[in-house]
Structure 1
Amino acid sequence: VGLATRRVRTALVARLGEAGFTALFSVVATAFFALLVRYYAAHRLDGDAGLALGGVLRWPLMALIVGGFALATASLVTYPESPMAILTHTVRPPRGLERVTRHPFFMGVALSALAHVPLATRLVGAVFQLGLATLAIAGAWHQDRKLVVLRGRPYEDYLAQTSAVPFAAIVAGRQRLVPQELPYVALAVTLVLALWLRFVHGSIFAHGGAWVIGGTLGVAAAAGLGSSLVARRRRGRAAPALVSRRQALAFAGATLLGYVGIVHEAVGSTLYPYGPAAFGGPLGWHAAGLSLVAAGVLIGAATLGLLRLPVVPIAALLSLVGAAFVALQALGHGDFHFFAFTMLVAGLLVAFSAHGPREHATG
């Protein structure tokens, strides 16, 4: 948040440019988030007991957690079109979840975190969740101040029509709920995901919080990519939305391949501590991860016609490698290698999408 304060941000943008500042902010935020999660994961069972409320209050609090999680996660689907999206310079009228709260992600995180505080079994967990809620609320306030400066009167009008507190603008009569605008599919998917997370709740922060770090970074990267594509489309430049469906699918698969490589580098050795030895040591381990990142970038560029590569055989080979690791993990450790499976699926997606005649771009 400190990097994004007006004075610091202005100075950094002047020196680095908007894209450079965004990259710097992303790197710093990622590093601090990873360190925070890893520290909490290592100490989540230490110290004094929390309130651990039960009885009649437990179920309403759990419902609030699920609702907040669904609100925050579903908002990522509509984020690229929102006035808050990075690389966006226009302010459209509020729609969908923005009618409920103009900050569905921040408020969803805050609601879920605050509901966790009285349920936490350890004091350290209550403090962690309270800090997360505070950061979300402060982030929403700070973002409004920043966008008033950057967008001017259009964003001031947007503020007047909406509320940060969920449903406050609707209750006050400044806004109305339009059911047909709500992302029902995204909400349904996130509700299912929330139930699954409840089932694996005890192991969410296992492996040093690697699952939390990897999942969060992947979602953030997808949201950022979506915002970038929407911004490019609005400017009338070539973007995956303006190319063929086959190219768009192949590019999506290439992005997944690169993401698996990033996860391999970021948390792979934590999830699979025996992995580096299987690759002949750290050098082989990092060479594999960085090669997959590079492959994802190059294949993505090739699917968009920016360079020439034998995309289909490379993708098919990577898919076979993913299948091999899925089999080895299952046979050798009796476990399911999710990221190798993702690599398998992504490789197949690229191979089948890039194979055959290309459709003409539309739009």
Structure 2
Amino acid sequence: MPDWLTPSHFIMLGLLLSFAIAHSGLAALRPWGEQRIGARLYRVLFALVSLPLATGLIIYFFNHRYDGQQFWQLQGVPGIESIVWWLSAISFLFLYPATFNLLEIAAVQKPEVHLYETGIIRITRHPQMVGQIIWCIAHTLWLGTSFMVVTSIGLILHHLFGVWHGDRRLSDRYGEAFEAVKVRTSVIPFVAILQGHQTLKFAEFIRPAYVGVAGFILLLWWAHPLLIQATANVPW
């Protein structure tokens, strides 16, 4: 193997695979689990498994993001930093869409499975997949390393699997109702709108959750250097 193909590349793929199996596996087992321990407790279990795995992924990514081969170096090119930040901000608007009930996510209210067709779902039926691809493009452009390329491939593959997995679970639960939603929405952004199956309603985006996401983006922009410093103290 070439010298630049460090063990961290394979460790990152292993961490991504572990997270994907746990996250998607628990999502698939949700109906079975909720029947036995209840929706709230299952959501707590889901969080207790997913959040530590995600935290470990983030720490390892920060500490090894410059590993391997440097394919390109664009960080000194004028305008690149602004492009990366804007793409990252847009990615979070898709990654954390306001179609979710935050009280259900926190298990304050009973978590439910919803069949959404409003807000950002009018743009794409799988906003998290779109947001993850945009995030990967931005960070791959900025870092330009083989480790980042491997990380992006792993993340995108997981979210592409999530497209199939999510549609299958909604189809199993809602049947013909979901098939009708599939006709009126699209996986690729704006395709359903261009085909005339869907129209944007900007009033649906005026919601407190979107304000929360915007605030999170600003907080992340401010705390990004601190986050890098903090993870550097973790010997991993």
| Alignment equivalent of 1:123, drawn from 134, 146, 150 | 146
C-alpha change, 1:38 and 1:56, in structure 2 (3 Å) is: closer
C-alpha separation in 2, matches of 1:194 and 1:45: 24
Distance 1:8 1:199 in 2: 36
If the length of structure 1 is used for normalisation, what is the TM-score? 0.47
Could you tell me which residue of structure 2 aligns to residue 79 of structure 1?
100
Task: State the match for 2:201 in structure 1.
Answer: 178
Question: Alignment identity in percent?
Answer: 24
Distance 1:158 1:11, change over 3 A: closer
Distance 2:165 2:79 in 1: 32
Distance verdict in 2 for CA 1:29–1:121, change over 3 Å: same
Residues 12 and 21 of structure 1 are in contact (CA less than 8 Å); yes or no, is this contact kept in structure 2? Answer: no
Partner of 1:2: 21
Q: Residue 30 of structure 1: CA displacement? A: 2.2
**Against the structure 1 CA distance between its residues 13 and 180, is the aligned structure 2 distance closer, same or farther, given a 3 Å change threshold?**
same
Give how far 1:100 is off.
1.1
SS across alignment from 1:173: coil
The AA in structure 1 aligned to 2:155 is: L
**Which ranges in structure 2 are unaligned for 5 or more consecutive residues?**
1-19
C-alpha distance in 1, partners of 2:205/2:31? 39
- Measured in 1, the distance between the counterparts of 2:31 and 2:90 equals 39
CA distance in 2, matches of 1:160, 1:209: 47
Contact 1:96 1:183 in 2 (8 A): no
Q: Structure 1: how far apart are the matches of 2:88 and 2:27?
A: 36
Quick one: distance in 2 between partners of 1:7 and 1:104?
A: 17
Return closer, same or farther for 1:183/1:133 CA change in 2, 3 Å cut-off. Answer: farther
* C-alpha spacing 1:22/1:70, structure 2 compared with 1 (3 Å): closer
Task: Report whether the alignment pairs 1:132 with 2:151.
Answer: no
CA distance in 2 between counterparts of 1:8 and 1:178 reads 32
Q: Secondary structure of the residue that 1:205 maps to in structure 2?
A: helix
Alpha-carbon distance, 1:129 to partner = 3.6
Q: Deviations over 1:50-77 (max 9, x none)?
A: 533354883545432221123333x1x3
Question: Which secondary structure state, in structure 2, belongs to the residue aligned with residue 78 of structure 1?
Answer: coil
The total of aligned residue pairs comes to: 206
- Name the structure 2 match of 1:34: 55
Map 1:261-340; keep pairs closer than 5 Å: none
Higher relative contact order (CA 8 A, sep 6+): 2
Specify whether residues 133 and 195 from structure 1 end up closer, same or farther in structure 2 by C-alpha distance, changes over 3 A only.
Answer: farther
Q: Distance in 2 between matches of 1:193 and 1:90?
A: 24
Higher helix share: 1
Q: What's the CA shift for 1:99? A: 0.7
Secondary structure of 2:29's aligned partner? helix
Tell me what 1:13 maps to.
33
Q: Hey, what does 1:106 align to over in structure 2?
A: 129
**Which ranges of structure 1 fall in alignment gaps of 5 or more residues?**
211-269, 271-363
Distance in 2 of aligned mates of 1:91 and 1:7 = 16
| Alignment CA distance shift 1:51-1:18 (3 Å) | farther
Match status 1:194 vs 2:217: yes
Q: Which residue of 2 aligns with 1:160?
A: 183
Cα distance in 1 between the residues matched to 2:135 and 2:88: 4
CA deviation string 1:275-313 (max 9, x = no partner): xxxxxxxxxxxxxxxxxxxxxxxxxxxxxxxxxxxxxxx
User: Residue type matched to 1:160 in 2?
Assistant: V
For each residue in 1:136-166, what CA deviation from the matched residue of structure 2 results, as whole angstroms up to 9, or x when unmatched? Answer: 3322331111111122221221121111222
Determine the structure 2 residue equivalent to 1:91.
115
Query: How high is the TM-score relative to the length of structure 2?
Result: 0.67
AA partner of residue 91 (structure 2): G
